[in-house]
Amino acid sequence: MEELKHYVNGEYVAGTTGRFSDVFNPATGEVQAKVPLASKAEVDAIVAKAAEAQVGWGATNPQRRARVIMKFGALINEHMDELAELVSKEHGKTLPDARGDVQRGLEVVEVCMGAPSLLKGEYMNDGGPGIDLYSMRQPLGVVAGITPFNFPAMIPLWKMAPSIAAGNAMILKPSERCPSTALRLAELFKEAGLPDGVLQVVNGDKEAVDAILDNDTVQAVGFVGSTPIAHYIYHRAAENGKRAQCFGGAKNHMIIMPDADLDKAADALVGAGFGAAGERCMAISVAVPVGQETADALIERLIPRVEKLKVGPYTSEEDVDYGPVITAAAKERITGLIDSGVAQGADLKIDGRGFSLQGYEDGYFIGPSLFDNVTPDMDIYKEEIFGPVLSTVRTDSYAEALDLVMKNEYGNGTSIFTADGDTARDFANKVNVGMVGINFPIPVPLSYFSFGGWKKSAFGDLNQYGADAFRFYTKTKTVTARWFSGIKEGSEFNFKQMD
C-alpha cells in the first residue's frame, strides 16, 4: 500500500507523527493509500521554511513570476489526462468530469499569467501643490489554502495560482481524502521553475488546520468546505489577526417559469443536480416550478431522464453519468436524508436507495433520487445533501418562488429558466444570492470574473479568483511624495560633473 508524504522545499518528506488517514477507492471501498497527518510542530517548521523562500520570490518582478505561471499552465495542459486519472482514482468522479475539474483550475492559472496588469497600483500627479501620490500592491508573505475533497485540482489551483503570482508563499492543506492531485501539482510547479519552498503541501486533519490558523507568520487563509467549518475557520483566523475568505455550503434553487423551454430545463436540472454525484457546492438541488401545470409537465420530463442515468466506476468501459460518493459515511448520511424525506411526506418519484453494482458491492454508489412535493420544513430541503438527490418544491407564483430563494439561509448560486427578459432581469436584480444564472443552471463565473456566495455560503469580503484574488493576496501601500527645489534651479549640471 502506498504511503504518501508531505511536499516540503521541493521534495517529498515523510510524516513524523505516526498518525495516518486512509485514502479509499470510493468505487470499491478499499484502502488504496495512507496519508500522513501533520502535527503543529511539523506545520510550524514548514511555515518557517516557506517564509524564508518567500523573501526572494516576493522580490522577483511580476513579469518573471508570470513566466513561471505560464510554464505551469502548459505543464497542466500537457499532463491533463494524468491529473484527471488521479482525481478520479481518489474522488470517484468520471474521467470527463475530472478533466473538467482540472480545466476549470487551469483557466484561473491562465488568468494569472497576466498578473502584472492585476498588480498595478494607482498614480496621481500634483494631487496637492507639488505633491504626487501613488500606491503599490505588495505580497502579504506566507498564506494558506485549505481545500475540499470534491474538487481536488480546481480549488487548489484557485488558491495557489493567484497567491503565488502575487509574490506570496503558499501553504496548501488539501483534503486528506484526495491528496494526490495537489501533491502532483506541486511537482509540476517546481518543474515550471518555482523556487523550492514557495509552495508547500502539508497533509493533515484538524490539528494541522488549527496550527495554520494559530501560526503568526501565516497572514491569510482561504478555505472551501462546509458552512460550520467555514464559520469556525473564519472566526479563528480573524481572532488571530489574519485575513480570511471561507466558502461554505449551499442549497441552490432553479426556478422554472411557465414560459420556459421545459425540455431544456429538464436537461439542465439532470446535469446540474446529478453530475459529480451531486457533490458540488454549485449543484442544483431544488427545482422550483411555478404553477401546477408547469410542475406536472416538468416532473413528466424529469422521470425518464433521471431513470436513464448510468452510475458506475470511472474505469467502466461504458459511458457513465456519475460515480460513487466519497465515503461510506457520506452514503449513509444521504440515504438517511432520503429516508427522512419519505417519512416527512415528500413524494419519492425515483428511489436511489439500495442501488448495487455487480462487482462493486462495497463501493459507495447511490442511485439517483427524485422528490416531488417537497416543502421548506422538511430536512431534505433544509440541509445540504451533497448527493444525487433532486427535490421539487412547487410554487404558485413567481413572487412565491423568489421569496423561497430569498429566505433560504444559503446564497451560493441560483438560476431561472424563462423566455421573458423582464422576469429574468427582475430576478437577477432582486435575489440575494452571489451567483445567478439565466437559462444557465450552474452559474460559475468565468475565470476573469470572480466566484463567491452570500449569506451562510461565504464568510469574508472578497471572492475567489479574478481581480478579487489579487486584492485578497496583496496589501496596498500608498506613498505621498514631495520634492523640494533642487539642482534644476541655480546650479549648473553637465556630464563632466559625473566623472
Is 437 strand, coil or helix? strand
Q: What is the pLDDT of residues 96-122, one digit of tens each?
A: 999 999 999 999 999 999 999 999 999
pLDDT-derived band at 488 (thresholds 50, 70, 90) equals low
Residue 231, Cα to own-chain centre: how many angstroms? 16
Q: Is the separation of the CB atoms in 438 and 94 below 8 Å?
A: no
CB 200 within 8 A of CB 156: no
Question: 481 with 146: CB under 8 angstroms?
Answer: no
What are the tens digits of pLDDT across the range 246-305?
A: 999 999 999 999 999 999 999 999 999 999 999 999 999 999 999 999 999 999 999 999
Torsion on CA atoms 93, 417, 295, 365, rounded to nearest 10: 0
Domains and their CATH numbers in the chain: 2-248+457-480 (3.40.605.10), 252-438 (3.40.309.10)
Residue type, 5: K
Q: Is 112 a catalytic residue?
A: no
What DSSP assignment string belongs to 315-360?
T-SS--SB---S-HHHHHHHHHHHHHHHHTT-EEEE--TT---TT-
Q: What is the pLDDT of residue 215?
A: 98
Where is pLDDT greater, at 441 or 127?
441
Question: What CA–CA distances, in Å, run from 427 to 48, 74, 346, 403, 421?
Answer: 49, 40, 27, 11, 10
Cell output for 186:
506541486
The yes-or-no verdict on residue 499 having pLDDT over 80 is no
Whether 168 and 139 have beta carbons less than 8 Å apart is answered as yes
Residue 404 has pLDDT above 90, yes or no: yes
Mean confidence (pLDDT) of the chain: 95
209/215 Cα distance (integer angstroms): 10
Phi, psi for residue 140 in degrees, rounded to 5: -75, -35
